[in-house]
Amino acid sequence: MSKGDALRDRTAAAIVDSAAASLAERGRIVSMNEVARAAGVSRATLYRYFPNREALLRAMATTGVEELAARVADADLQGLPVDQAIARLVRGFIAVGSKYVALSAGQASTDDHPDVDALLTEPVRDLFRRGIADGVLRPGLAPELLTELLSGLVKAALGMVADGQLGAEEAAAGVVAVFLDGARAGTRSPEPARSSRAR
Amino acid sequence: MSKGDALRDRTAAAIVDSAAASLAERGRIVSMNEVARAAGVSRATLYRYFPNREALLRAMATTGVEELAARVADADLQGLPVDQAIARLVRGFIAVGSKYVALSAGQASTDDHPDVDALLTEPVRDLFRRGIADGVLRPGLAPELLTELLSGLVKAALGMVADGQLGAEEAAAGVVAVFLDGARAGTRSPEPARSSRAR
Amino acid sequence: MSKGDALRDRTAAAIVDSAAASLAERGRIVSMNEVARAAGVSRATLYRYFPNREALLRAMATTGVEELAARVADADLQGLPVDQAIARLVRGFIAVGSKYVALSAGQASTDDHPDVDALLTEPVRDLFRRGIADGVLRPGLAPELLTELLSGLVKAALGMVADGQLGAEEAAAGVVAVFLDGARAGTRSPEPARSSRAR
Amino acid sequence: MSKGDALRDRTAAAIVDSAAASLAERGRIVSMNEVARAAGVSRATLYRYFPNREALLRAMATTGVEELAARVADADLQGLPVDQAIARLVRGFIAVGSKYVALSAGQASTDDHPDVDALLTEPVRDLFRRGIADGVLRPGLAPELLTELLSGLVKAALGMVADGQLGAEEAAAGVVAVFLDGARAGTRSPEPARSSRAR
DNA sequence: TTATAAGCGAGACGGTACGTCGAGTCTTCTT
DNA sequence: AAGAAGACTCGACGTACCGTCTCGCTTATAA
């Protein structure tokens, strides 16, 4: 039975990947028919795996979240200084972006997802809490707000990457630079030298 | 003829407003039938004004953009210090947000809009150019990147406002604080006192 | 007032004529818009004269009927032998045919038309009754049946005339020949010489 | 595959039958929605079988023609004396009439139908040619004209049958009587005794 | 090795929304 | 003050997509 399940999972994953690719490539308008065809599978099978469009989107979201969560877990955020942890996090977000961008466009509601909270939002929030407690981040901004704002920065950067206006590395660097130190000129900017090669 | 046109414009504006309200209230799924009914008009008339759904969304986008552009023009961005201009800009964005949020959710493509570029993006980019030239903003970040990142921050903040997690003022203050000075604690903390007094 | 009425009548007649022409020329599918345009009048005016499409068709029918009725009245059917009266009648029908064909195609219901009955059907039926009474027509066929059958023959002949397969004279002669004497060869062949000289 | 096709054909036939019934019962104005409902099928399915209204009408025409053609083929026209063959033909036409009447009202164009020519018009024309050659029909009337005139008679009779003014048998008898021997009183009318019971 | 179960492709079906178009009503402006 | 211009509602038409279903077929597991 484990074998059947494995096959099932692999098929589902293939469908999700293919759908993510189709959805990233073409502009948000992808019919279930096209998704099925692109995945090399019949429409009936597609519906067997995902009972409706929303479920497919949700699965894509979950996949992206899990992929991201794996990176987050690997990243040993607790073991790093907060600023470096954030940088690593952002790089991870943007690397996984190709899937994340489809969702960030509002296709999937990301509501009703315990995963996304448990796996992503919470660790990030913890990171921010730690940063504030450590005195690395300033105390005036709520962790929840910081989480959302960072997410917004990442989405914007992903949009530019998807449009080919920016490489993933530059995008990540820009996000980190702005998020940590802001756009204002000042004394504490050795980092920007690393992050300013926007075409 | 001016009268007929005026009536026409008013009707169109009423439809756009009603559609924006419907679309903000209900989650992204609003049929043309409902839009028409909510606007107190028949479906045929709706289609007389906007040949298809996309045109309606585009009109909503344009309306939002123009409203925003009016604010931007009023704001006398050139006459202010760059940081204050940015703060004013962000407050304007968030104030108009209720319309902007529907569009930012990805409903309208915002592509093929000369308006949005001419009226919004360009002034903002100019502002950033001026800031870099003045030495107020650091030179390492391209104006295009800053524009997108600021837009991302605003969208994120708008999402929180729409969810009721945050007031418009706090949201604007948070966006400005992070965008200008970043989340990192540091020597520049006296300045945020001007702009980031979240509740 | 007689002047206004005269104008009114003339306009109505012009619309009817134009509509008949449009309807004869193009195949049965003529929108009220096209009718109005062809008549050189606005759609509103068209509707002022004829409250709906059916009224227009009915007016066309009535016009044709009146034209026909005028011929019928002129033809002095009572003063002629029945067979000659029938021949004259058929020629009249076919001569007026261009209008009659549009109606015979089923556009107008011809129901609820007192005119058509009073002006056409009744005289024809009377003619048949006289023929039966005179012994010119055989008694076994009801006048109503004969009326319908003759109408059917005329419509068929009109169709061929409209298609250019037949001239009006030959068509009329054929209808009269078949209606009076049938298609069977027989002893009455000398008579057809008078009425059935098809090309 | 034969099974699927058979099912398909049966469904199509059911739709055609139902549509013919609806169209015969109600006066020419039957929406596709009603057709679908009457056929116990959804509108989408109706359109799946017949891409548009005209195709449905055409299918009804073809069905009627084929049904008629089957009768014609069964009737062994060649093996009968021409007058008896004509009588049989007319009875066949009128029997099938309920479908034929909808089409004869001008709903379907009957153009672009090779079938109708090959299956119906041609045999009838052949019959007339044989009749003329045999001396049973008189030579002065072209077969094409006779074909059309007979068709006109049949349509007229069908109209009366549909209106309930006449039974099918009487109608057929009247048509045959008039078509073969005309309405004129004369020596050769033993038949009318059989055919004159118009109400 | 065969039977049985499960997944799969194919595709019909109902439902719903979209965008188009014609019919008929009504208001407003003009002459 | 009547008629022209034209906006509006209603509803049908034809198209497309979604989600459900059944039907055979194949394949892999089980006896």
C51 Cβ contacts chain E strand, under 7 Å: yes
pLDDT: which is higher, A126 or B121: A126
Residue A3 touches partner B, C-beta closer than 8 Å: no
C42 Cβ contacts chain E strand, under 7 Å: no
Contact A121, A73 (CB under 8 A): no
Residue D149 pLDDT: 94
Q: Which of A167-176, C189-198, D66-75 has the lowest mean pLDDT?
A: C189-198
Which of A145, A175, A184 is nearest residue B149 as measured by Cβ atoms?
A175
Highest mean pLDDT (candidates A42-51, C36-45, D107-116, D187-196): A42-51
Distance of alpha carbon C194 from alpha carbon C84, whole angstroms? 10
Residue B189 pLDDT: 44
Q: Which of A110-124, B154-168, C138-152, D27-41 has the lowest mean pLDDT?
A: A110-124
Distance of alpha carbon B36 from alpha carbon B28, whole angstroms? 15
The band of C27, judged by pLDDT with boundaries at 50, 70 and 90, is low
Q: Which nucleotide is nearest to B51 (CA to C1')?
A: E19
Contact B15, B7 (CB under 8 A): no
Residue B195 pLDDT: 39
Residue B72 pLDDT: 79
Would the pLDDT of B84 be above 70?
yes
Would the pLDDT of A107 be above 60?
no
Q: Do chains B and A touch (3 or more CB pairs under 8 A)?
A: yes
* b/e sequence D109-132, b meaning 16+ C-beta within 10 Å: ebeebeebeebbbebbbebbebbb
> Which residues have C-beta within 8 Å of that of residue C103, sequence separation ≥ 6?
C57, C60, C61, C64, C110
pLDDT: which is higher, A48 or A187: A48
Radius of gyration of chain A (CA): 19
**Mean per-residue pLDDT over chain D, rounded:** 81
**Mean per-residue pLDDT over chain C, rounded:** 79
Tokens 């072209």, residue located = D142
Distance C115 CA to F10 C1' (A): 33
Alpha helices, DSSP H, located in B26-142: 32-38, 43-49, 53-74, 82-104, 114-115, 122-134
The band of D191, judged by pLDDT with boundaries at 50, 70 and 90, is very low
Residues of A in contact with B153 (CB under 8 A): 149, 152-153, 156
- Percent of chain A, pLDDT > 90? 38
**Nearest residue: Cα versus C1' of F14:** D52
Alpha helices, DSSP H, located in C43-142: 43-49, 53-74, 82-104, 114-115, 122-134
Contact B158, B100 (CB under 8 A): yes
Q: Under an 8 A CB cutoff, do C179 and D182 touch?
A: yes
Average pLDDT on B84-90 reads 92
Residue C53 pLDDT: 86
Residue C143 pLDDT: 92
Distance of alpha carbon D148 from alpha carbon C152, whole angstroms? 10
Q: Which helix (H) or strand (E) holds C191?
A: none
Which of C154, C180, C184 is nearest residue D138 as measured by Cβ atoms?
C184
Contact D166, C191 (CB under 8 A): no
- Percent of chain B, pLDDT > 90? 38
> Which residues have C-beta within 8 Å of that of residue A117, sequence separation ≥ 6?
none
Residue C177 pLDDT: 94
Q: Which of A53-57, D77-81, D107-111 has the lowest mean pLDDT?
A: D107-111
Residues of D in contact with C185 (CB under 8 A): 135-139
Q: Which chains touch D (3 or more CB pairs under 8 A)?
A: C
| CA proximity to C166, closest of D108, D123, D149, D118 | D149
Residue B157 touches partner A, C-beta closer than 8 Å: yes
Residue A171 pLDDT: 94
Residue A86 pLDDT: 93
B78 Cβ contacts chain E strand, under 7 Å: no
For C28, the token pair is: 């049965």
Distance A13 CA to F21 C1' (A): 25
Instruction: Tell me the C-alpha to C-alpha distance, in Å, between residue A64 and each of A97, A127, B35, B83.
Output: 8, 20, 34, 37
Average pLDDT on B20-24 reads 83
Distance of alpha carbon C52 from alpha carbon A122, whole angstroms? 69
Residue A177 pLDDT: 95
CA distance A3 to chain B (A): 40
Torsion of CA C87, C89, C95, C100, to 10 degrees: -130
Would the pLDDT of D137 be above 70?
yes
Residue D54 touches partner C, C-beta closer than 8 Å: no
Q: Is C15 exposed, middle or buried (0-12, 13-18, 19+ CB in 10 A)?
A: buried
Average pLDDT on C46-69 reads 83
Half-sphere exposure of B145 (CA within 13 A, CB side): 32
Residues of B in contact with A188 (CB under 8 A): 184, 186-187
φ and ψ at C184, to 5 degrees? -75, 140
The strand pairing partners of D137, in sequence order, are C184
pLDDT: which is higher, B185 or B184: B184
Tokens 């008039």, residue located = D178
Would the pLDDT of A195 be above 50?
no
Average pLDDT on D101-126 reads 68
CA distance C174 to chain D (A): 7
Q: Under an 8 A CB cutoff, do B141 and A183 touch?
A: yes
Residues of D in contact with C189 (CB under 8 A): 138
For D162, the token pair is: 């549909």
- Rounded to 5 degrees, what angle do the CA atoms C76, C82, C83 make? 115
**Nucleotides, chain F, CB distance < 7 Å:** 3-22, 24, 29
- DSSP string over B96-120: HHHHHHHHHTTSS--TT-HHIIIII
Q: Domains plus CATH for chain C? A: 1-51 (1.10.10.60), 57-195 (1.10.357.10)
Residue B133 touches partner A, C-beta closer than 8 Å: no
**Nearest residue: Cα versus C1' of E14:** D42
Q: Which chains touch B (3 or more CB pairs under 8 A)?
A: A
For D40, the token pair is: 């116990």
Residue C122 pLDDT: 81
Which of D140, D155, D193 is nearest residue C140 as measured by Cβ atoms?
D193
**Mean per-residue pLDDT over chain A, rounded:** 81
Instruction: Tell me how far the alpha carbon of residue A44 is from its chain's centroid.
Output: 30
φ and ψ at A75, to 5 degrees? -70, -10
Would the pLDDT of A99 be above 70?
no
Would the pLDDT of C92 be above 50?
yes
Q: Which of A29-38, B47-56, C166-175, D101-110 has the lowest mean pLDDT?
A: D101-110
